[in-house]
Structures are given as C-alpha cells and as structure tokens.
C-alpha cells in the first residue's frame, strides 16, 4: 500500500472539511442588527427544543400538533410587545447556543441557565425565571432527605445543567446524564437510579402528579433562566430587558407562571435584578471556574468514554458472533419451527432500526417487568442486532463450502453434527473472518447510538463536553480522531486478513 499517497489524500480531505466548516460558521455575520431585522420582517425566530419537554415548551398531549408551555406564552407576550409574529425553530437542546451563534434563529429561550461559562459565546438578557434544583426520590425510599444524602448514590440529571455540575462537584455520586426530561423519572421509578436532581419546574411538573415519586428537601442552588442572543445583539437584548420588566410590573409574567404552578416567592427576586450579568451568577454555589479551552483538560473524559465504547463494542460483538452462529445453524439445519424462528429473527432485526430496538429494550421492556441496566441494554441491543447480520455471514460461509466436503465426511462415518463441527465450520469460519472484522468496525461506530439510553460512551462524552464548553469543533475533531485511530488499524487488519486468506486457502 502506498501510505504516502494515502496520507496526503487524508490531509487534503481534512482541509476541505475544515474550509467547509469555516464558511458555514461565517454566515452569522450576515445579520448586522437582529433587532432591526426582526422589526422590518415582522418575525421573531425563536429557538427551542420541544423534546426537552414540559413545562417549558412541549407538544400538547391532547393536540400533538400544538406547542404549549410557560415559555410559549412568555414568547408570545414578548412578540406582542415587539409587534411581531413568532416563528418556531426546533433545535436540539444540546446545541441550541451553537445554532444561535450560527444565525439559525434570533433568540434562544428554553430554560437556559445563566452561567459564566456561556458568557464568552452569547449575551443574556435579565432573568425571566428564578429556578432552584430539586431532589426527587421514590415515594417508598427514605434514605435521601438532603443533598448530602446523595453521596454514594446513583443520581439522574440533565445534560449541561447547573444540577449536573453541582452533582459532579459534590463528588462520590454516580451521575447518570439524560437528554430528555421524561427518562430520568422513568428510570427512577424503575429503581435504575436512586434519585433525580433537576430544576424545580421540571421536578414539579413530572414528579408531583406521580404517586410513586416524592420531592424531598429544600430546593438548592438558586439560579436564573435568561434569554440568549448573539453577542453583538446588544440592542435586541436591551429591548428584551425592557419587555421583561414591563411584563413583571404589569403582573402578566406572574399570571403565566401561576397558570403553570411555577410562581413562588423566589420569583420576587426577578424585580431586584437589573444589574449586569455577573451579579446573577456569582452566588451560584457550584459553577466551576471558566472552562479552559485547553484540550488536555478534556482528554481524560474523552478517553474514559473511548474505553466504554471499546468495552461495549467488544462485548456486544462477542454476543453477536455467538448468537449469530446459533441463528445460522438453526436456520440451515434446524427443524421447520427452529428455521422459521431464526429466519423471522434475522428479518425483523435487519428490517428495523437499531435505535428503536434500543428504546424498546431499555424503556419498553420494563412495561412487562424486565428492567435492564443501561449497560446490559446497550450490549444486548447492539449484540442482538448485529447477530442477525453475522448469522447471514455465517450462512453464506457455510453454503460456500462444496457439498463434497460433507459427503466425504459422512462417508467416513461421521455424523452430520460432527461433520459440521469438524469439517464445515472450521472452513466456513475462516471465510467469515474478514466480513466480520468489517462488521466489528461498523458496530464500533454504531455503538454511539447507545447514548440514547443514558450510556456515557465516547460520542456522549463528546456532546456533553462540547455543549458545556461550546467547543464543538476542536472536540469534534479530537473525538473523530479517537474513533478513527481505533477503527483504522482494524480495517487495515481486515484487509490484510482478506488478502492472506485468499493467498493461502489453508491454515498457516
């Protein structure tokens, strides 16, 4: 192989990628003044994530096409004051500030906590809500009453939140990070975790109506939600500040919050805060010092994620290879019923998305009394999915062995089973090694999908770090390099194996 050529080509490719990225980020400079643009077009584009859930912005369960939530009402009031219409922009919460910077929408308003680490990238208005962090436990569980009791427990929280950092700083806590708001409460009722620690609005909306769950202790770590705008949009921020103040004074804000059961005495503090941003954040008990952009700081977390990725990949591949063999053999040699079952298994697993299979395993099975840990669900989900593909590789391998081999074995007095074990499989397995190595590489990359079931592997570690530090680019390159560094040697090995097996059609 010509490594030099390969190397120069890779560099070229990287350069192309970089320049594409560069040009796509520069379009935020296109708007000189967002306030003017909003007024002239008569439209305020609002970025949020409806998947984040209630009571902020969510799809009305009774009319799923309609968005409801206290923030929907708040934005409607703001737009009315501005004399414009609201245009919705659905965006994944993890990357909401990034999309704001890119210029996808004018304001980001979606339970975004005002914290100093976001300061370099966006501008915040004065707060529109005072939140605090709340502990939720199972109603039957008396062990946890204060934040200190969380030590040594498994606690669920949301991605890139103050609650998450508070938990991490308390130490000795196993933190399970979720991107949706429903899942942590689900896992809590299933005893997969011991407590949930989240912003009070979320806790009261999801846990209060659920008799299985209970809010304990006083809300801790008061903080503020603000509207984020682009750094250069000072005029828009000032205009929004005026509107928030007006809504406060007229009592409209209180009315909206009360409707959602969110008004409490803490909200009185909203009137006091007209000071610059620092004032809102300096009392935060738990925000870490400004995240340094130095790569070395992220590396240990990413490497830990990589280790989890490798572990999951290896274990699930082992399952896939073992189960796949059983499926292939029952499909080829089993009685009619076994053949039907394994054929159905293979077709169903190959014909449905892995993501759905993972959701069913992790969140669906508990409905029939089977509660798997995230790790077990990840291994089972990936392994059972890939088993279907490996089964077909085995089948092709077995069928490629000439019939004469079986006949020779049978004529020597071997039983069918022995002939399969000693003569057919050893030959078939060697044929299957290269395609299976390739499948392992594919599985290795597919393992990033298990992040949806609260597994923190490499991709999840990346998105947690990136959304916390806003450093999507540099971290993205590092993460991609980590994946590549692990999969490339494997694919070289697969190619070498393939060549070797083609050259010598026998044991070395």
Quick one: which segment of 243-251, 259-267, 301-309, 407-415 binds another protein (CB under 8 A)?
407-415
- Among 17, 18, 408, 480, the residue binding another protein under the rule CB under 8 A is 408
The yes or no reply on residue 410 touching another protein (CB under 8 A) is yes
Number of C-beta neighbours around residue 270 at 10 A: 21
- Among 18, 20, 235, 418, the residue binding another protein under the rule CB under 8 A is 418
Q: Give the shortest CB-455-to-another protein separation in angstroms.
A: 40
The yes or no reply on residue 172 touching another protein (CB under 8 A) is no
Q: Give the shortest CB-350-to-another protein separation in angstroms.
A: 30
By C-beta, is 170 or 410 nearer to another protein? 410
Q: Give the shortest CB-178-to-another protein separation in angstroms.
A: 50
- Among 426, 480, 492, 493, the residue binding another protein under the rule CB under 8 A is 426
By C-beta, is 140 or 411 nearer to another protein? 411
Number of C-beta neighbours around residue 370 at 10 A: 9
Preceding omega of 466 cis (within 30 degrees of 0): no
Q: What distance in Å separates the CA atoms of residue 133 and residue 218, rounded to the nearest whole number?
A: 9
Q: Give the shortest CB-426-to-another protein separation in angstroms.
A: 5
Number of C-beta neighbours around residue 137 at 10 A: 26
- Bridge-based pairing of strands 43-48 and 67-68 is unpaired
SS3 category, 441: helix
The yes or no reply on residue 344 touching another protein (CB under 8 A) is no
Residues 443-472 that bind another protein (CB under 8 A): none
What's the chain's length in residues?
508
The yes or no reply on residue 209 touching another protein (CB under 8 A) is no
The yes or no reply on residue 500 touching another protein (CB under 8 A) is no
By C-beta, is 274 or 407 nearer to another protein? 407
Quick one: which segment of 370-378, 390-398, 449-457, 500-508 binds another protein (CB under 8 A)?
500-508
User: Contact letters (x/-) for another protein, 362-401, by CB under 8 A?
Assistant: ----------------------------------------
Quick one: which segment of 71-79, 110-118, 459-467, 499-507 binds another protein (CB under 8 A)?
499-507
The yes or no reply on residue 336 touching another protein (CB under 8 A) is no
Residue recorded with tokens 């007095």: 413
Structure-derived torsion over alpha carbons of residues 252, 258, 263, 267, reported in degrees to the nearest 10: 0
The yes or no reply on residue 414 touching another protein (CB under 8 A) is yes
- Among 296, 335, 367, 507, the residue binding another protein under the rule CB under 8 A is 507
Q: Give the shortest CB-407-to-another protein separation in angstroms.
A: 6
Residue recorded with tokens 């990225």: 21
Structure-derived torsion over alpha carbons of residues 416, 421, 423, 425, reported in degrees to the nearest 10: 120
By C-beta, is 9 or 422 nearer to another protein? 422
- Among 255, 415, 480, 485, the residue binding another protein under the rule CB under 8 A is 415
- Is the Cα dihedral 23, 26, 31, 32 positive or negative? negative
Residues 18-57 that bind another protein (CB under 8 A): none
139-142: long-range contacts, CB 8 A cutoff, minimum separation 24:
139/211, 139/212, 139/213, 139/214, 140/212, 141/194
The yes or no reply on residue 404 touching another protein (CB under 8 A) is yes
Phi, psi of 294 (to 5 degrees): -65, 135
Quick one: which segment of 5-13, 87-95, 199-207, 420-428 binds another protein (CB under 8 A)?
420-428
End-to-end CA, the chain: 23
Beta bridge partners of 113: 225
**What is the distance of C-alpha 116 from the center of its chain?**
24
User: Could you tell me the two tokens for 334?
Assistant: 């089993």
Q: What distance in Å separates the CA atoms of residue 404 and residue 257, rounded to the nearest whole number?
A: 79
Total residues contacting another protein by CB under 8 A comes to 21
The candidate with the shortest Cα–Cα distance to 121, out of 472, 414, 413, is 472
Quick one: which segment of 57-65, 93-101, 403-411, 476-484 binds another protein (CB under 8 A)?
403-411
The yes or no reply on residue 405 touching another protein (CB under 8 A) is yes
Q: What distance in Å separates the CA atoms of residue 158 and residue 34, rounded to the nearest whole number?
A: 31
User: Could you tell me the two tokens for 59?
Assistant: 């799809």
The yes or no reply on residue 431 touching another protein (CB under 8 A) is no
Residues at the contact surface with another protein, assessed by CB under 8 A: 402, 404-405, 407-415, 418, 422-423, 426-427, 430, 505-507
């Amino acid at each position: 192989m010509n490594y030099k050529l390969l190397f120069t080509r890779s560099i070229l490719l990287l350069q192309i990628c970089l320049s594409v990225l560069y040009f796509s980020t520069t379009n935020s400079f296109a708007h000189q003044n967002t306030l003017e643009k909003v007024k002239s077009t008569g439209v305020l584009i609002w970025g949020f994530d409806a998947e984040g859930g209630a009571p902020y912005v969510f799809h009305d369960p009774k009319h799923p096409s309609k968005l409801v939530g206290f923030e929907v009402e708040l934005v409607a009031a703001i737009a009315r004051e501005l004399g414009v219409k609201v245009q919705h922009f659905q965006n994944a919460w993890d990357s909401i500030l990034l999309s704001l910077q890119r210029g996808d929408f004018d304001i980001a308003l979606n339970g975004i906590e005002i914290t100093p680490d976001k300061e370099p990238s966006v501008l915040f208005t004065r707060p529109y809500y005072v939140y605090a962090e709340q502990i939720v436990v199972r109603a039957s569980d008396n062990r946890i009453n204060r934040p200190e009791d969380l030590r040594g427990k498994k606690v669920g929280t949301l991605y890139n939140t103050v609650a998450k950092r508070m938990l991490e700083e308390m130490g000795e806590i196993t933190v399970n990070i979720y991107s949706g708001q429903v899942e942590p409460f689900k896992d809590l009722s299933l005893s997969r975790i011991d407590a949930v620690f989240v912003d009070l609005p979320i806790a009261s909306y999801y846990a209060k109506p659920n008799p299985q769950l209970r809010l304990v202790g006083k809300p801790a770590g008061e903080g503020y939600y603000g509207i984020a705008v682009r750094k250069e949009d000072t005029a828009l921020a000032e205009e929004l500040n005026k509107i928030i103040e007006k809504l406060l004074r007229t009592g409209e804000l209180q009315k909206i919050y009360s409707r959602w059961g969110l008004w409490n005495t803490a909200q009185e503090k909203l009137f006091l805060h007209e000071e610059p941003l620092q004032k809102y954040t300096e009392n935060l008990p738990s925000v870490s010092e400004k995240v340094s952009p130095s790569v070395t700081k992220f590396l240990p977390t990413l490497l830990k994620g990589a280790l989890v990725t490798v572990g999951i990949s290896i274990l699930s591949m082992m399952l896939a290879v073992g189960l796949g063999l059983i499926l292939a053999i029952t499909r080829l040699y089993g009685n009619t019923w076994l053949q039907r079952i394994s054929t159905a298994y293979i077709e169903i697993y190959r014909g449905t998305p892995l993501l759905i299979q993972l959701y069913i395993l992790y969140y669906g099975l508990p409905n029939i009394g089977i509660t798997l840990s995230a790790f077990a669900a990840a291994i089972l989900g990936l392994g059972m999915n890939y088993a279907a593909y490996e089964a077909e590789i085995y089948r092709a391998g077995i069928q490629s062995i000439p019939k004469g081999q079986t006949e020779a074995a049978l004529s020597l007095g071997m039983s069918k089973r022995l002939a399969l074990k000693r003569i057919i499989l050893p030959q078939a397995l060697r044929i299957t090694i290269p395609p299976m190595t390739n499948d392992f590489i594919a599985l290795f990359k597919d393992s990033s999908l298990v992040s949806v079931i609260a597994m923190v592997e490499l991709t999840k570690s990346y998105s947690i770090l990136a959304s916390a530090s806003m450093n999507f680019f540099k971290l993205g390159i590092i993460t991609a390099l980590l994946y590549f560094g692990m999969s490339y040697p494997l694919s070289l090995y697969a190619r070498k194996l393939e060549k070797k097996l083609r050259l010598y059609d026998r044991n070395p």
